[in-house]
Amino acid sequence: MTNFFAVDLGATSGRTILGTIVDGKLEQRELTRFANPIIETGGHFFWDIYALYNEIIKGLKIVADEKINIASIGIDTWGVDFVCIGKDGGVLRSPYCYRDPHTDNAMEEYFKLIDKETVYKKTGIQFMQFNSLFQLATLRKNNDSALEAADKILFIPDALMYMLTGEAVCEYTILSTSQMLDPRTKKIDKELIDVIGLKETQFGRYVNPSDKVGVLTEEVQKMTGLGAVPVVAVAGHDTGAAVAAVPAENEKFAYLSCGTWSLLGIETKDAIINEKSYEYNFTNEGGIEGTTRFLKNICGMWLLERCRKEWTDAPDIAQLCKDAMEVPAFQSFIFPDAPEFANPSSMVEAIKTYCEKTGQHVPQNYKEMARCIFESLAMRYRQVLEYLKDMAPFPIEKLHVIGGGSRNAYLMQMAANSIGLPVVTGPVEGTAIGNIMLQAKAAGLVGDMYEMRKIIADSIELNTYLPQDAQAWDEAYEKYLKIAN
């Protein structure tokens, strides 16, 4: 029996998990769960890196108190955000949240330095205004004091590993979200950061999934009661960890990581960077074992999460989903990736305004609005999958869905109906499972990713949804395309 400690941090909450492989199957135990709120102050949005570090320490203390021997520690988080570290080794300021409005128009400003097409050819990354490159360029333009004094710039999982070990590293999958990585060389492109006055050495030494970073510092050992436990670089980007956990038998699949964000893509041997991928704004992010995650970011359950905070009459999520099925289908659609849904003061009003502006039925209650969100997401999945089919080097035969959204049976059936392919759901906690299995690989307990995926498939329950009502969904999709922009 070998135990692994996984830290899985999302954009709204985090967990620490104990993972154990017994008789060829993976067992998990959640140790702690905690909120990860966005902190608003001084007109900006920040993450509390110290609170996250403290939550990791709490989980490690539980392990020590229960006298559990752990082989290693692994951390995965959301992408793009980073922490500035000073020459004295201290954190210079709480890191900006990617939803901060300071990057409004940041891409256009950067393209005055290096043109858009050149940036894409170098990186193959989907253009989003909060990508690390544009965040850093914005900080430089604003003469940000933390960036001015930064000796090291560490992405969130790398920063937390640094706080645990004192080792400054730059993990491949999290770096690949930044729009600074050349997927061919697997290193930071010098020209892209030269123009904003940064150096490659500021980002720490390169590491890959399953590489050892270091061991817990004496300070952390004393605080937790543990010994010199190794900290392992897993797929630091949570989507990379989640895709590692897809229980696929071969390459002929698409995946959907369904949570706050929906990330829809395929796994390929090489990056896909061409005119079509540029036109469709697809991204090439680093995967495990040298693979590329060719995907597109889609606004996901963020839409529903924000609405639920405003609804005073809505029941729990299970009943809410059931209630949404009571209202007529296809009354109204939104384009989930429209800029007005990025971070509005009121998501409910933003959706109503969008429907009114596009000449559709305006949702009148939480039931109609929830159904509008679910159907719109299902349509967006189809739209992006059509792009993928046009560019994939192999036929796509099924869609594997991982993440919390896979629990929503109504949304999963809608997705199958919309795309016209089988939808296979599970694991729900894909990021944590991928995190644990990459630690197991580092420990020599598993070989390649297909051995990992077989253990995962044998350890969880999978559900399959088959397409229904093809004609009705085809007609509704044509209606959706007319409002999608």
Q: Which fold has domain 2-239?
A: Nucleotidyltransferase; domain 5 (3.30.420)
Q: Which residues pair with 45 in a beta bridge?
A: 40
Mind listing the pLDDT tens digit for each residue in 327-376?
999 999 999 999 999 889 999 999 999 999 999 999 999 999 999 999 99
Active site residues: 238
Q: Which residue has the tokens 């990992």?
A: 452
CA distances from 9 to 21, 126, 328, 420 (A): 22, 22, 37, 33
The yes-or-no verdict on residue 450 having pLDDT over 90 is no
**pLDDT at position 261:** 87
> What rounded mean pLDDT belongs to the chain?
96
pLDDT band at 285 (very low <50, low <70, confident <90, very high): very high
CA distances from 101 to 41, 116, 135 (A): 13, 21, 10
Query: Domain extents for the chain?
Result: 2-239, 246-426+447-485
**pLDDT at position 1:** 83
Are 2-239 and 246-426+447-485 in the same CATH fold? yes
Q: What's the token pair of residue 310?
A: 């405003």
> With pLDDT > 90 as the criterion, what percentage of the chain qualifies?
93
Q: What is the DSSP string of 304-367?
A: HHHHHHH-SS---HHHHHHHHTTSPTTS----TT-GGGSS-S-HHHHHHHHHHHTT-PPP-SHH
**pLDDT at position 182:** 95
The yes-or-no verdict on residue 23 having pLDDT over 90 is no
**pLDDT at position 165:** 98
Give pTM, 2 decimals.
Answer: 0.86
Q: Span 278-293, mean pLDDT?
A: 93
pLDDT band at 246 (very low <50, low <70, confident <90, very high): very high
Helix 302-310 and helix 366-391: axis angle, to 10°? 170
Mind listing the pLDDT tens digit for each residue in 130-171?
999 999 999 999 999 999 999 999 999 999 999 999 999 999
Q: Span 77-105, mean pLDDT?
A: 97
**pLDDT at position 260:** 87
**pLDDT at position 284:** 95
Q: Span 98-122, mean pLDDT?
A: 97
**pLDDT at position 429:** 84
| Nearest residue to 63 (alpha-carbon basis) of 225, 196, 276 | 225
If DSSP codes are grouped into helix, strand and coil, which group holds residue 208?
A: coil
| Nearest residue to 223 (alpha-carbon basis) of 91, 90, 66, 54 | 54
Question: CA-CA distance, 292 to 37, in Å (whole number)?
Answer: 31
As its CATH architecture, domain 246-426+447-485 has: 2-Layer Sandwich (3.30)
User: Of residues 23 and 120, which shows the higher confidence score?
Assistant: 120
